[in-house]
Amino acid sequence: MPYAHTVENTVFRFATLAELLAKASPERSGDQLAGIAAEGPVERLAAQMALADLPLRAFLAEELIPGEEDEVSDLIERQFDEKAFAPVSSLTVGALREWLLAAKGPAIAALAYGLTPEMTAAVSKLCRLQDLVAIAAQRRVVTRFRSTIGLGGRLSTRNQPNHPTDDTAGILASALDGLLLGSGDAVIGVNPATDTVEDYVRIVQLLDELRERLAIPTQTCCLGHVTVALEAMASGAPVDLVFQSVAGSEKANTGFGVDLAVLREARDAARALKRCPEDGQFMYFETGQGSALSADAHFGVDQQTMEARAYAVAREFDPLLVNTVVGFIGPEYLFDGKQILRAGLEDHFCGKLLGLPMGVDVCYTNHADADGDDMDALLMLLAAAGVNFVITVPGADDIMLNYQSLSHHDAAFARQTLGRRPAPEFERWLIETGILDPAGRLGAPPRLLADFAARLGHQALALGAA
């Protein structure tokens, strides 16, 4: 059915729900690249006003991508719970925004499977930044492995010790740098430079030895492809978290080399290892606005709505961690700091509404019109919104992936300034080792690095520490 709204005697018509959502999206270079964005602010306003008046039930009547052609659409339909939808079933998209602003955490949590990803994307398009923060801050999603992530008043971090050649000493040195600054309670996770089974196994063994020798209450991950993880698990490798990038359509996931069946196989294999507590979580997913468009697998749907659809895939597997790499794909999809900032808050908002333990890689590529000030602003807004975790690297510069992320110091700043603490198990370890004082302030004595290096038995690190 067509949708329309009149602004100053001009009638703006939108032929499909997908077109309405695309035209209502805040300005985004990826949608402009796809040729589906509003022509200007007046058309965008008309689309947003038409969207605000749209009943939520319209999303149940019109599929953006037919389920018989796309397993993600089919999954979204199967996940939908009519009983959970009941409290808001009579509302429009605009009225849902008002409902969410007035609601408390338990009511928002109960709504999770009563909302489709498309509904969450739609309401986010009507929200100011403060709305995205205020609503998400009400929604806690707590997960647990060796540490507990997502509790109120906490801000967790992924310690990302990447290295251009996956050098053992380089990974360990980078990981220790993060640990000494309090980073790593969500996960110590390496993006491997190669994707071989041999390298994957070496990295997970290295990280597991680091964790065990220093008695760190966290979990580790090599972010290799899920099929590589399957081979590694079959060989008995110490795999804590199974990782995979996912997207919002079957075609886009095929481009990543996965489907739902492969993810289920990996979940079952990881569960059989019994490294995670019985009631814990052990899957880790990464997403990012623009991934479906870059794979020519968006079907005319705007990139932010496609991103929200990826969260249906993630929540099917009860993950420990999910993060959007918000500025990583490049300015072709998020042009500048303003677009990156809003996209990060949108992603966190939609993920939390759908019940996911959302984190954000606060990042940008070196050819984007963004800088550290933009990332500082996004970090502080996400911390206020209750983000589960952020990713940190030495000096904010990932020397393997060649992009700018947060530094370990940035997370320490946010924790100290906003009164956020690490995960409780990890916080106790930080205090016991002397990295934090009892008041939660960083104060690691110089000898601690040498002590850690000695406990790891790594001669090169020990010499460097000395």
Model pTM?
0.96
- Residue-by-residue DSSP string for 59-96: HHH--SS-TTT-HHHHHHHHH--HHHHGGGTT-BHHHH
Task: Please state, in angstroms and rounded to a whole number, the distance separating the CA atoms of residues 92 and 325.
Answer: 31
209 plus 83 within the same structural domain: no
377 plus 418 within the same structural domain: yes
Whether the CB-CB separation of 375 and 364 falls below 8 Å is answered with: yes
156 plus 213 within the same structural domain: yes
Q: Which domain holds residue 58?
A: 3-137
In a domain, 447, yes or no: no
- Checking if the pLDDT of 466 tops 60, the result is no
- Checking if the pLDDT of 100 tops 70, the result is yes
292 plus 350 within the same structural domain: yes
In a domain, 449, yes or no: no
What token pair was written down for 297?
């697998």
Say which CATH number the domain at 339 has.
Answer: 3.20.20.70
Q: Strands, DSSP E only, in 86-234? A: 143-144, 148-149, 156-159, 187-190, 220-222
In a domain, 454, yes or no: no
150 plus 187 within the same structural domain: yes
170 plus 271 within the same structural domain: yes
In one letter, which amino acid is 163? H
Give the three-class secondary structure for 164. Answer: coil
99 plus 206 within the same structural domain: no
102 plus 13 within the same structural domain: yes
- Checking if the pLDDT of 365 tops 50, the result is yes
125 plus 171 within the same structural domain: no
Task: Please state, in angstroms and rounded to a whole number, the distance separating the CA atoms of residues 460 and 458.
Answer: 6
In a domain, 96, yes or no: yes
120 plus 204 within the same structural domain: no
Q: Which residue has the higher pLDDT, 440 or 345?
A: 345
> Which of 78, 109, 137 corresponds to the end of one domain?
137
In a domain, 199, yes or no: yes
Q: What is the pLDDT of residues 150-190, one digit of tens each?
A: 999 999 999 999 999 999 999 999 999 999 999 999 999 99
In a domain, 316, yes or no: yes
Instruction: Give me the mean pLDDT over the 279-286 stretch.
Output: 97
Say which CATH number the domain at 69 has.
Answer: 1.10.220.70
Q: What is the pLDDT of residues 230-273, one digit of tens each?
A: 999 999 999 999 999 999 999 999 999 999 999 999 999 999 99
* Number of domains into which the chain is organized: 2
| CA nearest neighbour of 147 among 187, 179, 117, 183 | 187
Give the three-class secondary structure for 358. Answer: strand
> Mapped to the 3 state alphabet, what secondary structure does 168-202 carry?
HHHHHHHHHHHHCCCCCCCEEEECCCCCCHHHHHH
